[in-house]
Amino acid sequence: MAAANDASARKPVLVELFTSEGCSNCPPADALLAKLDAQQFVPGAEAIVLSEHVTYWNHEGWQDPFSLDAVTTRQQQYGVHFGLESVYTPQAVVDGDAQVVGSDEAGLRRAIAKAAEAPALDVAIDEAERSGNEVHFKVHGGAERNATLVAAVAVDSAQSSVARGENAGRTLRHVAIVRVMQEMGKDAGDDRQLTLKLPGGQGAPAGPLRLVVFLADRRSGRVFGAAERAIPQ
Protein backbone atom coordinates (compact mmCIF):
# COMPACT_ATOMS: atom_id res chain seq x y z
CA MET A 1 0.00 0.00 0.00
CA ALA A 2 1.70 3.19 -1.17
CA ALA A 3 0.78 6.61 0.16
CA ALA A 4 0.95 9.33 -2.46
CA ASN A 5 2.86 12.46 -1.47
CA ASP A 6 -0.23 14.58 -1.98
CA ALA A 7 -2.67 12.05 -0.56
CA SER A 8 -4.42 14.71 1.51
CA ALA A 9 -5.44 16.50 -1.71
CA ARG A 10 -6.69 13.33 -3.35
CA LYS A 11 -10.19 11.90 -3.13
CA PRO A 12 -10.37 8.30 -1.86
CA VAL A 13 -11.83 6.06 -4.58
CA LEU A 14 -12.66 2.40 -3.91
CA VAL A 15 -11.46 -0.02 -6.59
CA GLU A 16 -12.66 -3.62 -6.22
CA LEU A 17 -11.11 -6.27 -8.45
CA PHE A 18 -13.09 -9.50 -8.81
CA THR A 19 -10.50 -12.11 -9.73
CA SER A 20 -9.55 -15.76 -9.40
CA GLU A 21 -6.37 -17.81 -9.44
CA GLY A 22 -8.21 -20.26 -11.70
CA CYS A 23 -8.69 -17.65 -14.44
CA SER A 24 -5.92 -17.28 -17.04
CA ASN A 25 -7.08 -13.75 -17.92
CA CYS A 26 -6.75 -12.54 -14.33
CA PRO A 27 -2.97 -12.23 -13.69
CA PRO A 28 -2.63 -9.07 -15.86
CA ALA A 29 -5.49 -7.51 -13.88
CA ASP A 30 -3.86 -8.54 -10.59
CA ALA A 31 -0.64 -6.88 -11.79
CA LEU A 32 -2.51 -3.72 -12.80
CA LEU A 33 -4.16 -3.51 -9.38
CA ALA A 34 -0.75 -3.82 -7.72
CA LYS A 35 0.61 -1.09 -10.00
CA LEU A 36 -2.30 1.19 -9.14
CA ASP A 37 -1.81 0.51 -5.44
CA ALA A 38 1.92 1.26 -5.56
CA GLN A 39 2.01 4.16 -8.02
CA GLN A 40 -1.38 5.87 -7.48
CA PHE A 41 -1.20 6.92 -11.12
CA VAL A 42 -4.59 8.70 -11.43
CA PRO A 43 -4.27 12.43 -10.59
CA GLY A 44 -6.73 13.62 -7.96
CA ALA A 45 -7.54 10.10 -6.75
CA GLU A 46 -6.29 8.03 -3.84
CA ALA A 47 -7.18 4.52 -5.00
CA ILE A 48 -8.17 2.21 -2.15
CA VAL A 49 -7.86 -1.23 -3.71
CA LEU A 50 -9.37 -4.57 -2.77
CA SER A 51 -8.64 -7.91 -4.43
CA GLU A 52 -11.81 -10.00 -4.13
CA HIS A 53 -11.44 -13.65 -5.13
CA VAL A 54 -14.60 -15.37 -6.36
CA THR A 55 -15.45 -19.08 -5.96
CA TYR A 56 -16.97 -20.09 -9.30
CA TRP A 57 -13.60 -20.87 -10.88
CA ASN A 58 -12.81 -23.41 -8.17
CA HIS A 59 -14.39 -26.27 -10.13
CA GLU A 60 -11.89 -25.78 -12.99
CA GLY A 61 -9.07 -27.70 -11.32
CA TRP A 62 -7.65 -25.20 -8.80
CA GLN A 63 -9.11 -24.27 -5.43
CA ASP A 64 -8.26 -20.59 -5.02
CA PRO A 65 -7.11 -20.32 -1.37
CA PHE A 66 -8.36 -16.73 -1.16
CA SER A 67 -11.83 -17.30 -2.62
CA LEU A 68 -14.89 -16.38 -0.55
CA ASP A 69 -18.59 -17.11 -1.04
CA ALA A 70 -19.38 -13.61 0.23
CA VAL A 71 -17.29 -12.11 -2.57
CA THR A 72 -19.10 -14.18 -5.20
CA THR A 73 -22.42 -12.97 -3.82
CA ARG A 74 -21.17 -9.38 -3.84
CA GLN A 75 -20.17 -9.61 -7.50
CA GLN A 76 -23.53 -11.13 -8.40
CA GLN A 77 -25.25 -8.16 -6.77
CA TYR A 78 -23.12 -5.83 -8.88
CA GLY A 79 -24.08 -7.87 -11.93
CA VAL A 80 -27.73 -7.08 -11.26
CA HIS A 81 -26.94 -3.41 -10.63
CA PHE A 82 -25.03 -3.05 -13.91
CA GLY A 83 -27.56 -5.09 -15.89
CA LEU A 84 -25.00 -7.70 -16.95
CA GLU A 85 -26.12 -10.99 -18.50
CA SER A 86 -23.51 -12.76 -16.38
CA VAL A 87 -20.62 -11.90 -14.08
CA TYR A 88 -17.06 -12.36 -15.25
CA THR A 89 -13.42 -12.14 -14.22
CA PRO A 90 -11.40 -10.02 -14.13
CA GLN A 91 -13.88 -7.25 -13.35
CA ALA A 92 -13.00 -3.94 -11.69
CA VAL A 93 -15.76 -1.96 -9.97
CA VAL A 94 -15.00 1.68 -9.14
CA ASP A 95 -16.84 3.32 -6.23
CA GLY A 96 -19.69 0.86 -6.83
CA ASP A 97 -20.80 2.98 -9.76
CA ALA A 98 -18.76 1.91 -12.81
CA GLN A 99 -17.32 -1.38 -14.04
CA VAL A 100 -14.59 -2.22 -16.53
CA VAL A 101 -12.52 -5.24 -17.50
CA GLY A 102 -9.92 -5.45 -14.75
CA SER A 103 -6.94 -5.50 -17.13
CA ASP A 104 -8.13 -2.45 -19.12
CA GLU A 105 -5.76 0.22 -17.80
CA ALA A 106 -7.17 3.05 -19.94
CA GLY A 107 -10.74 2.22 -18.93
CA LEU A 108 -9.76 1.93 -15.29
CA ARG A 109 -7.99 5.30 -15.41
CA ARG A 110 -11.08 6.96 -16.87
CA ALA A 111 -13.43 5.42 -14.32
CA ILE A 112 -11.23 6.40 -11.37
CA ALA A 113 -10.71 9.94 -12.69
CA LYS A 114 -14.48 10.38 -13.08
CA ALA A 115 -15.11 9.04 -9.57
CA ALA A 116 -12.50 11.44 -8.18
CA GLU A 117 -14.51 14.38 -9.51
CA ALA A 118 -17.71 13.38 -7.69
CA PRO A 119 -18.55 14.73 -4.23
CA ALA A 120 -17.80 12.39 -1.32
CA LEU A 121 -18.41 12.03 2.38
CA ASP A 122 -15.45 12.21 4.74
CA VAL A 123 -14.79 8.86 6.42
CA ALA A 124 -12.07 8.23 9.00
CA ILE A 125 -10.85 5.17 10.93
CA ASP A 126 -9.72 5.47 14.54
CA GLU A 127 -8.19 3.11 17.12
CA ALA A 128 -7.71 0.19 14.71
CA GLU A 129 -5.86 -2.77 16.17
CA ARG A 130 -5.70 -6.54 15.88
CA SER A 131 -6.24 -8.73 18.90
CA GLY A 132 -5.98 -12.44 18.15
CA ASN A 133 -8.49 -13.26 15.44
CA GLU A 134 -10.36 -9.97 15.79
CA VAL A 135 -9.85 -6.45 14.49
CA HIS A 136 -11.26 -3.66 16.64
CA PHE A 137 -11.83 -0.13 15.32
CA LYS A 138 -14.00 2.96 15.28
CA VAL A 139 -15.28 4.88 12.27
CA HIS A 140 -16.30 8.50 11.97
CA GLY A 141 -18.23 9.31 8.81
CA GLY A 142 -20.75 11.68 7.34
CA ALA A 143 -24.40 10.73 7.42
CA GLU A 144 -26.17 9.54 4.29
CA ARG A 145 -29.80 8.47 4.42
CA ASN A 146 -29.52 5.31 2.33
CA ALA A 147 -25.96 4.32 3.23
CA THR A 148 -24.65 1.45 5.28
CA LEU A 149 -21.10 1.02 6.53
CA VAL A 150 -19.16 -1.90 5.04
CA ALA A 151 -15.84 -3.02 6.51
CA ALA A 152 -13.23 -5.36 5.07
CA VAL A 153 -9.95 -6.77 6.31
CA ALA A 154 -7.43 -7.61 3.60
CA VAL A 155 -4.00 -9.23 3.64
CA ASP A 156 -1.48 -6.62 2.49
CA SER A 157 0.14 -8.93 -0.07
CA ALA A 158 0.59 -12.63 -0.79
CA GLN A 159 1.54 -15.07 -3.51
CA SER A 160 0.56 -18.58 -4.57
CA SER A 161 2.22 -21.31 -6.60
CA VAL A 162 -0.62 -22.65 -8.72
CA ALA A 163 -0.42 -26.40 -9.34
CA ARG A 164 -3.47 -27.02 -11.52
CA GLY A 165 -6.04 -25.28 -13.69
CA GLU A 166 -5.53 -22.56 -16.28
CA ASN A 167 -2.62 -20.98 -14.39
CA ALA A 168 -0.81 -24.24 -13.59
CA GLY A 169 2.91 -23.71 -13.01
CA ARG A 170 2.61 -19.97 -12.40
CA THR A 171 3.41 -18.01 -9.25
CA LEU A 172 0.67 -15.43 -8.77
CA ARG A 173 1.01 -12.29 -6.65
CA HIS A 174 -1.81 -10.27 -5.15
CA VAL A 175 -2.30 -7.15 -3.04
CA ALA A 176 -5.06 -6.23 -0.58
CA ILE A 177 -6.67 -9.68 -0.59
CA VAL A 178 -10.03 -9.60 1.18
CA ARG A 179 -10.32 -12.20 3.95
CA VAL A 180 -13.51 -10.91 5.50
CA MET A 181 -16.08 -8.31 4.44
CA GLN A 182 -19.11 -7.41 6.51
CA GLU A 183 -21.93 -4.89 6.50
CA MET A 184 -21.73 -3.10 9.84
CA GLY A 185 -25.02 -1.20 9.73
CA LYS A 186 -26.54 2.16 8.97
CA ASP A 187 -25.29 3.98 12.07
CA ALA A 188 -21.93 2.24 12.49
CA GLY A 189 -19.97 5.35 11.51
CA ASP A 190 -20.77 7.18 14.74
CA ASP A 191 -17.55 6.38 16.64
CA ARG A 192 -18.88 3.26 18.33
CA GLN A 193 -16.55 0.30 18.93
CA LEU A 194 -16.72 -2.14 15.99
CA THR A 195 -15.26 -5.62 15.56
CA LEU A 196 -14.50 -7.86 12.61
CA LYS A 197 -13.77 -11.52 13.29
CA LEU A 198 -11.02 -13.02 11.13
CA PRO A 199 -10.90 -16.60 9.82
CA GLY A 200 -9.18 -19.01 12.16
CA GLY A 201 -7.12 -22.15 11.72
CA GLN A 202 -5.29 -22.60 8.42
CA GLY A 203 -7.30 -19.75 6.90
CA ALA A 204 -6.08 -17.22 9.47
CA PRO A 205 -4.48 -14.23 7.71
CA ALA A 206 -0.78 -13.71 8.35
CA GLY A 207 1.39 -10.63 8.05
CA PRO A 208 0.34 -6.98 7.80
CA LEU A 209 -3.34 -6.30 7.18
CA ARG A 210 -5.38 -3.47 5.75
CA LEU A 211 -8.69 -2.30 7.16
CA VAL A 212 -10.95 -0.71 4.55
CA VAL A 213 -14.30 0.87 5.36
CA PHE A 214 -16.79 2.53 3.07
CA LEU A 215 -20.29 3.96 3.09
CA ALA A 216 -22.38 2.38 0.35
CA ASP A 217 -25.92 2.79 -0.92
CA ARG A 218 -27.88 -0.24 0.29
CA ARG A 219 -29.76 -0.51 -2.99
CA SER A 220 -27.29 0.35 -5.74
CA GLY A 221 -23.94 -0.26 -4.05
CA ARG A 222 -22.67 3.21 -4.94
CA VAL A 223 -19.88 4.30 -2.58
CA PHE A 224 -20.27 7.68 -0.87
CA GLY A 225 -16.95 7.69 0.97
CA ALA A 226 -14.10 5.35 1.92
CA ALA A 227 -11.06 5.12 4.16
CA GLU A 228 -8.16 2.76 4.74
CA ARG A 229 -5.82 2.00 7.64
CA ALA A 230 -2.80 -0.30 7.84
CA ILE A 231 -2.80 -2.79 10.72
CA PRO A 232 0.69 -3.99 11.65
CA GLN A 233 1.36 -7.65 12.29
Tens of pLDDT along the chain (233 residues)?
544 445 558 999 999 999 999 999 999 999 999 999 999 999 999 999 999 999 999 998 999 999 999 999 999 999 999 999 999 999 999 999 999 999 999 999 999 999 999 999 999 999 999 998 999 999 998 777 788 999 999 999 999 999 999 999 999 999 999 999 999 988 777 878 999 999 876 667 878 999 999 999 988 899 999 999 999 77
CATH of domain 7-231: 2.60.40.10
Contacts 24+ apart (CB under 8 A), 189-194: 189/123, 189/139, 189/140, 189/141, 189/142, 189/143, 189/149, 189/213, 189/215, 190/140, 191/126, 191/138, 191/139, 191/140, 192/138, 193/136, 193/137, 193/138, 194/136, 194/137, 194/138, 194/139, 194/151
Q: Are 135 and 196 in contact (CB under 8 A)?
A: yes
- Does the pTM surpass 0.85? The reply is yes
The HSE-up count of residue 89 (CA atoms within 13 Å, CB side) is 25
